[in-house]
Amino acid sequence: MAPQKMLGACLLAAATLPAVAGGPPLTLDDAFARALADNPRLMAGSFRSRAAQAYQEQAEQAPPLEIGFDLENVAGNNRTAGLSGAEATLTLSGVLERGDKASLRGQLAEARGTLVRTERDIDRLELLADVAERFIHVVRDQQLLAVAEAAVALASAAQEEAQRRVDAGAAPETESARATIALADARLDQEHAEHELKATRVSLASLWGERAPRFGPAQASLATLPEASALPDIVAGLERNPQLRRLAEQRRIEAARQQLAQGQAATDIRLSGGLRRREEAGDTSLVLGLSVPWGSTQRAQPGIRASEAEVAAQQRMYQAVRRELYAVVYARYQEMVHAGTEVAMLRSDILPAAQSALEAIQDGYARGRYGYLELATAQEDLIAHRRRFIDAAYRYHRHLIEIERLTGTAAAAPMEKAS
Strand arrangement, sheet containing 87-96: 66-72, 87-96, 269-278, 283-291
128 part of a folded domain:
yes
User: Which DSSP helix (H) or strand (E) runs through 233?
Assistant: helix 231-236
Within a 10 A sphere around the Cβ of 309, how many other Cβ atoms? 12
What band does 84 get if pLDDT is binned at 50, 70 and 90? low
CATH code of the domain containing 275: 1.20.1600.10
237 part of a folded domain:
yes
Question: What percent of the chain is modeled with pLDDT above 90?
Answer: 34
Average pLDDT over residues 248-262: 76
What pLDDT shows up at residue 417? 46
Ramachandran angles phi, psi of 220, nearest 5° = -170, 160
411 part of a folded domain:
no
What band does 120 get if pLDDT is binned at 50, 70 and 90? confident
pLDDT at 194 over 60: yes
417 part of a folded domain:
no
419 part of a folded domain:
no
413 part of a folded domain:
no
pLDDT in tens, 200-229: 999 999 999 888 899 999 998 889 999 888
What pLDDT shows up at residue 7? 39
In DSSP terms, 286 is beta-bridged to 275
- 383, 373 contact by CB (below 8 A): no
Which has the closest alpha carbon to 335: 413, 231, 223, 416?
Answer: 231
| Cβ-proximal residues to 212 (8 Å cutoff; 6+ apart), any chain | 22, 202, 205
414 part of a folded domain:
no
Q: Which residue has the higher pLDDT, 236 or 186?
A: 186
pLDDT at 188 over 90: yes
Overall domain count for the chain: 1
Average pLDDT over residues 124-152: 94
- 46, 120 contact by CB (below 8 A): yes
Q: Which 3 state secondary structure label does DSSP give 98?
A: coil
What band does 419 get if pLDDT is binned at 50, 70 and 90? very low
- 207, 128 contact by CB (below 8 A): no
- Distance (Å, whole) CA 59 – CA 359: 78
Query: Measuring CA to CA, how many Å separate 276 from each of 81, 83, 92, 270?
Result: 19, 14, 12, 19
Q: Which residue has the higher pLDDT, 407 or 31?
A: 31
Average pLDDT over residues 243-259: 77
What band does 184 get if pLDDT is binned at 50, 70 and 90? very high
What pLDDT shows up at residue 142? 96
Q: Which residue has the higher pLDDT, 343 or 84?
A: 343
* Least trusted range by pLDDT, from 14-18, 95-99, 147-151, 179-183: 14-18
pLDDT in tens, 1-34: 333 443 333 333 334 444 455 689 999 999 999 9
pLDDT in tens, 317-349: 888 888 888 998 999 999 999 999 999 999 999
Average pLDDT over residues 359-376: 89
pLDDT in tens, 274-333: 888 777 777 888 888 888 888 777 777 887 788 778 878 878 888 888 888 899 899 999
- Structural domain containing residue 106: 2-406
* Least trusted range by pLDDT, from 23-32, 43-52, 352-361, 383-392: 43-52
Within the chain, how many helices (H) and strands (E) appear?
A: 10, 4
96 part of a folded domain:
yes
Average pLDDT, the chain: 83
pLDDT at 79 over 70: no
